[in-house]
């Protein structure tokens, strides 16, 4: 759900302070959007409209920037981004099957976030652990030599239990 300014004022106050601090920089919009995404985790329309009002620039311009750069997202992200390596070595060793298994276990498609907001499933290029292929990465942790559904489900379970 999008952050509601009437019930959740603190992040908007933080963002207002950031805008005040940065707005006189040359081309401040990208930097302000970057920090807004750090604060909210994503950039829903409510946040874009807030920035539009505070900076007195059309929301269409903000929307254009958000949708142009792929490091900005309008969808909520999970607490953990689960990056499946789709580099050549991992692909040859069955990364596509790993993606299918993860989609099945998490009940979401690539690019989506679980309803409990714990995981976002994403893909990356070679993460430099080719000898462990196929590989996925959660935060700082790399998991390799992935084979069975059970092995992957056990990894997921550890994160679910730690939450
Ligand atoms: S291709 Fe996956 S770690 Fe290198």
What CATH number does the domain containing 117 carry?
3.40.30.10
Domain membership flag for residue 46: yes
Domain assignment present for residue 15? The answer is: yes
- Whether residue 158 is found in the same domain as residue 86: yes
- Packing angle between helix 45-55 and helix 59-68, nearest 10 degrees? 130
- 122 with 63, same domain: the answer is no
Q: What is the pLDDT of residue 41?
A: 82
Task: State the residue range of the domain holding 125.
Answer: 80-162
* pTM of the predicted structure, to 2 decimals: 0.69
Q: What spacing in Å lies between the alpha carbon of 101 and ligand 1's midpoint?
A: 18
What is the C-alpha separation between 58 and 35, in angstroms, rounded?
Answer: 19
Residues 71-103 as b or e (16 or more Cβ within 10 Å = b) = ebbeeebbebebbbbbbebbeebebeebbebbe
Say if residue 85 is in the same domain as residue 64: no
Q: What is the pLDDT of residues 124-134, one digit of tens each?
A: 999 999 999 99
> Quick one: pLDDT band at residue 2, thresholds 50, 70, 90?
low
Residues 91, 57, single domain; the answer is no
Å from CA of 140 to ligand 1 middle: 15
Same domain for 109 and 60, yes or no, is no
Query: Which of 122, 124, 116, 126 is CA-nearest to residue 81?
Result: 122
Residue among 133, 134, 137, 143 to mutate when testing ligand 1 (max atoms within 8 A of CB): 133
């Amino acid at each position: 759900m999008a952050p509601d300014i009437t019930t959740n004022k603190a992040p908007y106050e933080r963002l207002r302070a950031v805008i005040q601090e940065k707005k006189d920089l040359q081309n401040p919009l990208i930097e302000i959007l970057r920090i807004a995404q750090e604060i909210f985790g994503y950039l829903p329309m409510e946040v874009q409209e807030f920035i539009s009002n505070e900076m007195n620039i059309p929301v269409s311009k903000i929307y254009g920037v958000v949708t142009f750069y792929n490091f900005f997202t309008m969808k909520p992200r999970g607490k953990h981004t689960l990056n499946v390596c789709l580099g050549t070595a991992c692909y040859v060793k069955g990364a596509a099957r790993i993606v299918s298994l993860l989609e099945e276990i998490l009940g979401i498609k690539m690019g989506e976030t679980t309803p409990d907001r714990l995981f976002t499933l994403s893909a990356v290029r070679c993460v430099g652990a080719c000898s462990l292929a196929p590989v996925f990465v959660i935060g700082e942790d790399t998991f390799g030599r992935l084979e069975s559904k059970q092995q992957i489900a056990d990894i997921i379970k550890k994160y679910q239990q730690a939450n």
